[in-house]
A and B are shown apart, each in its own frame.
Chain A
Amino acid sequence: AQSVTQLGSHVSVSEGALVLLRCNYSSSVPPYLFWYVQYPNQGLQLLLKYTSAATLVKGINGFEAEFKKSETSFHLTKPSAHMSDAAEYFCAVTPDYSGTYKYIFGTGTRLKVLA
C-alpha cells in the first residue's frame, strides 16, 4: 500500500538556520508528491509539488524539495529559517498503489523557529 513517512513530529531550528524536513514515500507507480503547510487555525496551502518534471522543485517562501527516486525521498529544505516559517508541514503522495487518485498524507512535522 502507498505510504508516507515524515521523520520527526517536531523539529526546532534557530532563526537563520537551515530547515530540513524529511519525507519518504513508498509507491508502486510513479508518484506525484506534495508539501503543504498549515499555519495555526488555518487550512492547508500548497508549498510545492513534484509532477515528474524537474526533480528539484522550488516553492513559495524560499522552500525547495528534491525528488530522489533511488532513496524514495522528497525532503523539504530552506536555507535560512524565518520566524514566520513556524507551522505544521505535511508531505502527501498520489496515486495510491492501485492507481486511484486518493491522497496519502504523512503525519506532519511541526516546525518551531527559535529566536
Chain B
Amino acid sequence: EAQVTQNPRYLITVTGKKLTVTCSQNMNHEYMSWYRQDPGLGLRQIYYSMNVEVTDKGDVPEGYKVSRKEKRNFPLILESPSPNQTSLYFCASSLGTEGQETQYFGPGTRLLVL
C-alpha cells in the first residue's frame, strides 16, 4: 500500500531531551516536507527536501533539523525541545518538485514537551 508513515504517533518528552520523529514513504517521491499544525495557525512548513541531500527551510525552521540521506526517509530532529514545540506534526511527500503535484500526508505525530 502506498503510504507515508511516521513514528512515533504520540510522544511526551521533557525540555532539552533530544528526539527524532521518523518519516518514510514507499512511493519513490522526490519531494518531502515537514509541517506543524497548531490551533488557529493552520499548517506551517518547517523544512522541505527536493531530493536526496537537498533540503531547505520552510517558514518555521527554528529549533528543528532534518536530513535526507535516502530518498524514502526524511527524519525530523529536535535537538533541544522546548514547550513551544508542542504541536501536531505531519510529514508529506509528492512525486515531483514542480509544485503542482499532490502531497500525500502521514497520519501525524502528536508531541507534548513538558
Which A residues are in CB contact (< 8 Å) with B100? 32, 49, 51-52
- Shortest Cβ gap from A107 to chain B (Å): 4
- Across the A-B interface, how many residue pairs have beta carbons closer than 8 Å? 63
For residue B44, which residue of chain A has the nearest CB?
A105
Measured in the bound complex, the distance between the Cα atoms of B35 and A94 in whole Å is 15
Asked whether A56 is an interface residue with its Cβ less than 8 Å from the other chain, the reply is no
Which A residues are in CB contact (< 8 Å) with B90? 43-44
Contact mask for chain B residues 29-58; partner A; CB cutoff 8 A; 1 contact, 0 none: 001010100001111110010100000101
Asked whether A14 is an interface residue with its Cβ less than 8 Å from the other chain, the reply is no
Asked whether B97 is an interface residue with its Cβ less than 8 Å from the other chain, the reply is yes
Contacts A45-B105, A49-B100; is A107 near B33 (CB within 8 Å)?
no
Q: How many chain A residues touch B (Cβ–Cβ < 8 Å)?
A: 26
Q: Which of B35, B42, B56 contacts A108 (CB 8 A)?
A: B42
Which B residues are in CB contact (< 8 Å) with A101? 31, 48, 50, 97-99
Interface residues of chain B, those whose CB is within 8 Å of chain A, are 4, 31, 33, 35, 40-45, 48, 50, 56, 58-59, 90, 92, 97-100, 102-103, 105-108
